[in-house]
Structure 1
Amino acid sequence: MKSGELKMGWARQYMPVLGEIRKKFEAEKPLAGQKIGMALHIEAKTAVLVETLAAGGAEVYITGCNPLSTQDDVAEALDRVKGVHCYAQRACSNEDYYAAIDKVLDQNPTVTIDDGMDLIHRLHTGRRELLDNIVGGCEETTTGIHRLRAMAADGALEFPVIAVNDTPMKRCFDNVHGTGESALSAVMITTNSLIGGKWFVVAGYGYCGRGLAKMAHGLGAKVVVTEIDPRRALEAHMDGYHVMSMAEAAKIGDIFVTTTGNTSVISEKDFRNMKDGVILSNAGHFNVEIDIPWLEANKDGYEARDSIETYIIDNKRINILAEGRLVNLATMKGMGHPIEVMDLSFALQALCSDYILREGPGLTGGVYEVPNEIDVSVASIKLKSLGVEIDRLTEEQEHYMNSWDIGT
């Protein structure tokens, strides 16, 4: 058995929720006759999702959503799965990256599954002739949802898209535990640097930032949070972290991880204030949070070790991990989120794909929440796989919770 298949087999044994969905899909074939176009991180957990969709009868066309997150052996293994066609290649040029996006769209898909919205963006800006065939889509990550909501607000989003990222079973597990564990693990493995006792700066205190701060604190780091939202800043303060501006954090930080989804979070003025040997990384989707173009244009760099580029600024070494791309997947040792976490997120993707095919024709263009029954069903399947039982409301309790006229 080749390495790609071995990785997929390893992931499959720790993904019981998708396993249950796959059994249902194999029996019922709810996706028969459909073409699903995907742009996701090509690694073993994603491959299990793709297998599940193919088992449901779909023809699946997939490429990467980040030039450095593809594992070539998994991409090759996916291409050997019946009904699956994979076009991704690690470390491809931007030109080849978007050429692969076009190859997916050339197949005229009926459903899109995105991580970052590149497929949907390309459909609306360069492949509009394909829009009439699209029933709907699903979006995996925070950055993609931000872009989609901006499109919808402008009246530019022409088909319904399920905001998979925004449902509790995604945010509370994938974003908090997944990003928290995998980003921190990637930083440690890539740098071989101690976390305990360091000033660890987390830019952004959304769900991803909260998870990362919690994990770093657990390893003994002195955690700093930077924020633009006063409510989240106050929450970070009440959670016990140091809260300050990036201008102040730049002076003391040893390790930085950005999680904002925004651009130029760390820029020239911050680089010049930083310590010698500082480590900078990004856990947001796109490589825009750290101003890499300024570094490349103004300072000489050299590869210090795998996935670390060092730039000399004012006689100080600034170390950038994975070109400022998604650190938990783009480093040479990055494996992405833990398998059990992605089992939940990809279960949502599979069920939402089925849902959008059934309900999409009756929906207008826009961003839609994951139906509550899908979110709850994923949690229920997971609890069953763990052997965990929970309580249920009695008839009396249901009546009480649904009434307004019962006094104290």
Structure 2
Amino acid sequence: MEATERTRLADYFGAVARAVEPETRPASLLITHLLAERPTFVRAAAQVSDLRAVLPKPKSIHPHARAEVEALVRVDPLTREMFADPDASLAYIESRAAGREVVLFDVGGYFAPVLDAIADRFSGRLLGVIEDTENGHQRYASVDKLPCPVVSAARSPLKEPEDFLVGESVVFSTEALTRSRGDIFHGRGALVLGFGKLGSSIARLLHAKGVHVTVYDIDPVRRTQALSKGFTVAQDRNAALGAAGLVLCATGAMSLQGDDFPRLRPGAYIATVTSSEDELDLGRLPACYETSSAGEHITRYASPGGHLFYLLNDGNAVNFLHGASVGPFIYLVQGELLAGVRMLSRGDLAPGMHEVPDADRATIADIWLNHYNR
């Protein structure tokens, strides 16, 4: 990022932070993709809260960004396992924010499995969670009885530009990798698993490239939407897996189980929009498959019987190979995450799912337009 862009970004986040700054600053822990531009957002999070630690998602850490953030705040390693065990997760949060009012910034529902334990046993007060992604939104929404408020930006109108551009970056990176092996999209029918905001964006972009796109979603409403937009909707998921030369996984909820992989069309490519642990049950892949490199960031899986498929970027979000850039539109959503701190700091939200008020969204959008639509 050029110095002028970095200055503009700092000015933008400074203006947002001033506009949404809470009366009292709670402690916070921040899970984030630590990409090249992210330190500026980290500084803004530290402006609206007492940021106690940053936990970068392990598959998306830019080394220079990490070094810059480490000069500001503690950076701790992140795994799903550390927030799977209630005692371990509670011990960690106590070590960083004991006795404090605390807000948890999340990307992907990491805290969902242990939220009850944190809310019940933490020595301070858990004010709530701020969630960024649809995957995480679903994880929290599926909790039978949330013990605290969760402010979600996943379905905000400010996220719509980001969702479209993430879809574009996924298609770009997938095509770049397949072309590196001399393969092109044309002639390879694509199956998009999941027709949410990302899946629908990917389907539209593939269609625009002349690819025949089939869609499958467990939600019949989304299948109806896909059909209305001109896509083929799979009635038999297994048959669709066997016919597609390219499978894009965009459910955020285990698109492919272990016994799905042998059903894939021989030579099919698989790409995902999130981490492999969320989309692919590779741990239950039949043991007979052997792996080898088929090119940079492409893994070949082959069985003794001759069945094979190709996995892009080890099953992790393929667009992160090329920076996952969606331009300045992502700063809209990050501004909304900052606004969530003020909502939670008041301590008057009921347990359950919440969204940032339209008035705050309008304020953030106006600040963004003043900085990025000159």
The reply to whether TM is greater than 0.5 is yes
Corresponding residue SS for 1:261: coil
> TM-score of the superposition, structure 1-length normalised?
0.78
- The aligned counterpart of 2:153 is 164
Q: Residues 195 and 208 of structure 1: is their aligned pair in 2 closer, same or farther, counting only changes over 3 Å?
A: same
Give the deviation of 1:165 after TM superposition: 0.6
Give the deviation of 1:203 after TM superposition: 0.5
CA distance in 2, matches of 1:129, 1:261: 30
Residue 207 of structure 2 corresponds to residue 217 of structure 1: yes
- The aligned counterpart of 2:249 is 258
- The aligned counterpart of 2:125 is 133
Matching residue's letter, 1:312:
A
Residue 331 of structure 2 corresponds to residue 343 of structure 1: yes
Corresponding residue SS for 1:86: coil
Gaps of 5+ in 1: 1-6, 389-408
- The aligned counterpart of 2:174 is 187
Cα deviation digits, residues 287-317 of structure 1 (max 9, x gap) = 2433311226331112333332211133132
- My pick for the range that moved more, 309-318 or 269-278, is 269-278
- The aligned counterpart of 1:19 is 11
Q: Residues 34 and 69 of structure 1: is their aligned pair in 2 closer, same or farther, counting only changes over 3 Å?
A: same
What is the correspondence of 1:325-336 to structure 2 with a 5 Å cutoff? Answer: 325-329=316-320, 333-336=321-324
Aligned residues: 364
Corresponding residue SS for 1:107: helix
Q: Residues 100 and 76 of structure 1: is their aligned pair in 2 closer, same or farther, counting only changes over 3 Å?
A: farther
What is the correspondence of 1:45-194 to structure 2 with a 5 Å cutoff? Answer: 45-56=37-48, 58-65=50-57, 67-81=58-72, 84-88=73-77, 103=92, 106-108=95-97, 110-125=102-117, 128-130=120-122, 132-151=124-143, 154-155=144-145, 157-170=146-159, 172-175=160-163, 177-191=164-178, 192=180, 193-194=183-184
- The aligned counterpart of 2:272 is 282
CA distance in 2, matches of 1:335, 1:101: 33
- The aligned counterpart of 1:370 is 356
Picking from 21, 35, 38, the partner of 2:27 is 35
CA distance in 1, matches of 2:83, 2:351: 30
CA distance in 2, matches of 1:8, 1:78: 18
- 8 A contact 2:17–2:338 mirrored in 1: no
CA distance in 1, matches of 2:359, 2:80: 41
Matching residue's letter, 1:380:
D
- 8 A contact 1:180–1:212 mirrored in 2: yes
CA distance in 1, matches of 2:29, 2:141: 21
CA distance in 1, matches of 2:188, 2:365: 36
Picking from 226, 233, 244, the partner of 1:243 is 233
Corresponding residue SS for 1:161: strand
Matching residue's letter, 1:220:
G
Picking from 176, 190, 199, the partner of 2:189 is 199
CA distance in 1, matches of 2:32, 2:184: 31
CA distance in 2, matches of 1:290, 1:35: 35
- 8 A contact 1:309–1:321 mirrored in 2: yes
- The aligned counterpart of 2:341 is 353
- 8 A contact 2:25–2:48 mirrored in 1: no
Corresponding residue SS for 2:33: coil
Give the deviation of 1:320 after TM superposition: 1.3
Question: Identity of paired residues, percent?
Answer: 20
Matching residue's letter, 1:199:
G
Cα deviation digits, residues 80-126 of structure 1 (max 9, x gap) = 13xx222248xx89679998996566211611110112135345347
Picking from 307, 320, 332, the partner of 1:316 is 307
CA distance in 1, matches of 2:302, 2:208: 32
- 8 A contact 2:132–2:152 mirrored in 1: yes
Corresponding residue SS for 2:285: helix
Picking from 248, 264, 272, the partner of 2:262 is 272
Q: Residues 286 and 279 of structure 1: is their aligned pair in 2 closer, same or farther, counting only changes over 3 Å?
A: closer
Q: Residues 258 and 27 of structure 1: is their aligned pair in 2 closer, same or farther, counting only changes over 3 Å?
A: closer
CA distance in 1, matches of 2:6, 2:94: 28
Gaps of 5+ in 2: none
Matching residue's letter, 1:69:
S
CA distance in 1, matches of 2:83, 2:220: 41
CA distance in 2, matches of 1:270, 1:304: 21
> TM-score of the superposition, structure 2-length normalised?
0.84
Corresponding residue SS for 2:343: helix
Q: Residues 86 and 221 of structure 1: is their aligned pair in 2 closer, same or farther, counting only changes over 3 Å?
A: same
CA distance in 2, matches of 1:51, 1:363: 26
CA distance in 2, matches of 1:347, 1:28: 9
Cα deviation digits, residues 251-283 of structure 1 (max 9, x gap) = 2211111111222x3345543333332111221
Q: Residues 322 and 31 of structure 1: is their aligned pair in 2 closer, same or farther, counting only changes over 3 Å?
A: farther
- 8 A contact 1:295–1:311 mirrored in 2: no
Matching residue's letter, 2:292:
Y
